[in-house]
Amino acid sequence: MTTLSAPGLRPANPNFSSGPCAKRPGWSLEGLRDAALGRSHRAKIGKAKLARAIDLTREVLQVPADYRIGIVPASDTGAVEMALWSLLGERGVDMVAWESFGAGWVTDVVKQLKLPDVRTFDAPYGALPDLAAVDFDRDVVFTWNGTTSGVRVANGDFIPADRKGLTICDATSAAFAQKLDFDKLDVVTFSWQKVLGGEGGHGMLILSPRAVARLESYKPAWPLPKIFRLTSGGKLIEGIFKGETINTPSMLAVEDYLDALDWAKSIGGLDALIARADANAKVLADWVANNPAVAFLATDEATRSNTSVCLRFVDPAVSGLDDAGQQAFVKAFIGLLEAEKVAYDIASYRDAPPGLRIWCGATVEASDLQALTPWLDWAFATAKASLKAAA
């Protein structure tokens, strides 16, 4: 990282945001021409499109046939909150967190639901908690992939098949890019705007038969607003899982999700999506391996995310600064790339350590990441030179 000469090649698509994420390769508004605009989502055409979105989700994501899939409001956050408020309280719960969103679920359960029997297992950014200490005879809430830390669980082997509690998994930055072990998961949530590059505002709630049994046998002690209700008269509202949404969805966003699912299916489905994300992450891994100024935030390669790739600056000129100084350096670094229109929205999440977060999900092209890395070198050298000049 010594040259100040600007690279010649630019990424064809500079969108590396971790959500909303880049649209699929070849995407255009023309592909949404069949959207049921101006039509009711309860009309035959609306219901058919919503049902198709559920069916394609099951096919591409390889969801077991006996699991329910529902489209719910308020993105992944809405889906997680529905699960927390509807299912927890029947027994003790273990909360597992290693980044900001997981920590947010801890806050909701402890301070909002105020459950009496909660244990928290957490870890600093870059690491996983001790998963062996989690008791799966209790309910367990965790994220599969820490979007703001770049740390994921390697697989579902840490979850026993004969568990008595439910596992509630926020998989929003893992779904469609990592293999989810559905046999070990009772609730899975995600949003459209991550790996498939869909639009924001809609969430997906996937329930195992065990989760459905809990919903039908347990009634929380607190009132549930309409937007959270999954049962009526002690029975699951089956319509939610057939395309009869709780509130009005955007039919334009539905069409966009269908477009993304069709693309995913056309390139080979889940295996192809995972392979694309892995190849993308490898581009950055190869770059990091040859640059002593940067390092992965994730300390263990086995649990390193292939979607939300989080990096930190370890060059002493930057790492030796206080937090405010590092934040200022990152801001200058990001500003250089944005001014050149080669990378947008790649700063680390506001609660995470100062650094970079570059999305490598399946809708990103490896060629764009390859074109980006020389610009990262250039931005670092330029920002470091400015830092020295100001000293």
pLDDT at site 388: 84
**pLDDT tens digits, one per residue of 125-152:** 999 999 999 999 999 999 999 999 999 9
Distance of alpha carbon 139 from alpha carbon 159, whole angstroms: 11
Residue 390 has pLDDT above 90, yes or no: no
Per-residue pLDDT at 243 exceeds 70: yes
CA distance 70 to 53: 10
Beta strands per DSSP E along 16-100:
68-73, 93-97
**pLDDT band at residue 318, thresholds of 50, 70 and 90?**
very high
Vertex 246: Cα angle to 167 and 252 (nearest 5): 105
Per-residue pLDDT for 377 more than 80?
A: yes
Least-confidence region, from 48-52, 153-157, 173-177, 384-388:
384-388
301's torsion region: left (phi>0), alpha (psi -120 to 50) or beta?
A: alpha
Q: For helices 44-61 and 269-289, what crossing angle results, to 10°?
A: 60
Q: Determine contact, residues 240/230, Cβ cutoff 8 Å.
A: yes
Which residues, other chains included, contact 37 with Cβ-Cβ below 8 Å and sequence gap of 6+? 251, 252
Is the pTM higher than 0.75? The answer reads yes
- CA-based angle 182:363:333, to the nearest 5? 115
* pLDDT tens string 262-305: 999 999 999 999 999 999 999 999 999 999 999 999 999 999 99
Q: What is the C-alpha to C-alpha distance for residues 264 and 53, in angstroms, rounded to an integer? A: 13
Q: Quote the mean pLDDT of the chain.
A: 97
Q: How far apart are CA 3 and CA 351, in angstroms?
A: 32
Predicted local confidence at residue 391, as pLDDT: 75
- Amino acid type, 121: F
Say if residue 20 is preceded by a cis peptide, omega within 30 of 0.
yes
302-320 mean pLDDT: 98
Q: Is 114 left (phi over 0), alpha (psi -120 to 50) or beta?
A: left
d(CA 117, CA 367): 50
Model pLDDT, residue 2: 47
Rounded percentage of the chain residues whose pLDDT exceeds 70: 99
Mean pLDDT (whole number) for 295-320: 98
Residue 40 has pLDDT above 80, yes or no: yes
Tokens of 114: 């105020």
Other CB atoms within 10 Å distance of the CB of residue 391: 6
Q: Can you list the domains of the chain with their CATH numbers?
A: 30-265 (3.40.640.10), 269-390 (3.90.1150.10)
pLDDT of residue 1: 43
Separation of alpha carbons 97 and 142, rounded Å: 6
pLDDT of residue 4: 77
Statement: residue 155 has pLDDT above 90: yes
Region at 19 (left for phi over 0; alpha for psi -120 to 50; beta for the rest): left
Residues 83-140: tens digit of each pLDDT: 999 999 999 999 999 999 999 999 999 999 999 999 999 999 999 999 999 999 999 9
